[in-house]
Amino acid sequence: MKTATIHSVCECQNKLGAELDEQRRAIKGWARERRTGRVLVAPAHSIIRKDAEVFEVAWACPFCTRNQVRLFDTEGLSFREPGAQPASP
Ligand SMILES: [Zn+2]
């Protein structure tokens, strides 16, 4: 199964990331604390509209507890075979 990794930044300035499968579903999410580099699990899920080029990914940031929703373009995703690149940050 190929996966793609997306990144964003939370309002608290910590980084958010998620791994997506080819259906653009979020397999896992994480957040990296900007100041310390500490990485925590950040529950992520995709909001996909059928036949739409864009989709949204929502994260629950573990550092500030905000829910963050970001818009992504399907065209911008780059899918890779597992092992071609570390899936984790
Ligand atoms: Zn945050």
Beta-ladder partners of 44: 59
51 Cα: distance to centroid of ligand 1 (angstroms)? 30
- Residue ranges near ligand 1 (ion) with Cβ within 5 Å: 10, 12, 61, 63-64
The reported pLDDT for the residue numbered 51 is 87
**9, 3, 6: which is closest to 68 by C-alpha?**
9
Cα gap 68→7, rounded to integer Å: 12
Give distance in angstroms: CA of 27 to centre of ligand 1: 20
Q: Please name the amino acid found at residue 70.
A: R
How much distance in Å is there from the Cα of 53 to the middle of ligand 1?
A: 27
Tens-of-pLDDT digits for all 89 residues of the chain?
899 999 999 999 999 999 999 999 999 999 999 999 999 999 999 999 988 999 999 999 999 999 999 999 999 999 998 766 555 55
What integer pLDDT is reported at residue 85 of this predicted model? Answer: 57
CA of 71 relative to ligand 1 center, distance in Å: 17
Q: Beta partners for 26?
A: 20
Query: What is the pLDDT at residue 67?
Result: 98
